[in-house]
Chains A and B, each alone.
Chain A
């Protein structure tokens, strides 16, 4: 409320300033024109009286302005423009016009916000609901972005998981800015690299013990290519943006079950190698973590 009064006062002050300016420019205009034909014989006196009147006007306007300015409250602190202050520091000429655009787009989003809240209340009164608009609003309170988590928190979560396994070594590196790339050494069986975005897993690559590890090249062994494929399936299966910590922990538990990749036979057919693919059981059940061949898992 206080702010609206301020804006009104500010507006009247600006108007009086404008009037003052126009009256002053009027004075100078008359002066520069000098004597005119319509001043007649005793033009000099007429001209002086006209000037006198104009100057009087200016005087009145100055008084007006003084009054309105005096009634304006003095701002207590300098205006805080947030990050937009840095816009003025941009050296390129054409970027300096960005401020107006910024203000315009701010007005736009403000309006959208206003209209959507109106629309929301209107739609809420309608009892015929075909969308799950209600459940979405209930969850909104808890909604938070898990793409943007402090690196320290990510480190804590992953290190906590790493500590609970003796034969699984987890090392964290950050080659690409703040997002973690986690290297997992599972006993002498396999190595894996997992790329994180915040706390969400984005990419997995599994390779053999002796191979060099990077994010993009596939293993030269068929069995690890199959395990990579299955790890992608597991990553999507465990994906839960609401409780990302649980997703990471479940995935690590699942990956850890590959410790017996070569030593345990398939639970269904009882053999190590499948007769067509010549692969060991490269699939692990999501719940029981039991080993199965890809072909036997149904």
Chain B
């Protein structure tokens, strides 16, 4: 597991999401990347029942890179608590449907091709919520290194080269506090949740 950076790629006016994905795919293939299947990251959020006191939100996420795991993040005010469990956790959530109700209309996912280029793994995902297109997320993983602090300059250089000079690249909010720690899969999940939450708040929808 290497350090991963998730970056939003803005879809230009009067262009579609498919156009952007094709453009980035073309750039990657020109660099010498090979496509290695598809990937999918999805997120479903549950609200606790009002009878249980203050309402809390639980986000359940799956990542095709870790297919046997279910990631859950509980938002409780200032602090987020995460639990990594195996596939049975989904069934457990169904049992708990009396206490936690799913917000079906906010189920959101990022899905698209997965590329390998040397030691990099690049995923270009189109984000959809309820079948409506929301934007493009580019995930870049540098697999040999486990410390975000050491590898940030290198990842930034790679992203800048891939996405073009117009995109402003900053370290992800979640990583800033964890620069000197060993990177784990949950750090990727937090980054996806950050972006998904931002997309949910945006009301302006554009068809793909």
Residues of A within 8 A of B (CB): 188-189, 208-210, 219, 221-224, 260-263, 265, 271-273, 277-280
Contact = CB atoms under 8 A, between A and B. Distances in A.
A188 B146 contact: yes
13 contacts: A189-B145, A189-B147, A208-B143, A210-B146, A221-B144, A224-B144, A262-B144, A262-B147, A263-B150, A263-B153, A272-B153, A273-B161, A278-B119
Contacts of A260: 150
A271 B147 CA distance: 19
Interface in B130-167: 142-147, 149-151, 153-154, 157-158, 161
Interface string B178-194: 00001000000000000
Interface in B97-128: 117-120
A223 B142 CA distance: 11
Given A189-B145, A221-B144, A278-B31, A262 B118 contact: no
B1 interface: yes
Contacts of A189: 145, 147, 150
A262 B120 contact: no
B119 A221 contact: yes
A272 B118 CA distance: 14
A265 B182 CA distance: 22
A208 B143 CA distance: 9
Contacts of A208: 143-146
Given A273-B157, A278-B119, A223 B146 contact: no
Contacts of A265: 153
Given A278-B31, A278-B119, A223 B157 contact: no
B154 A221 contact: no
B143 A221 contact: yes
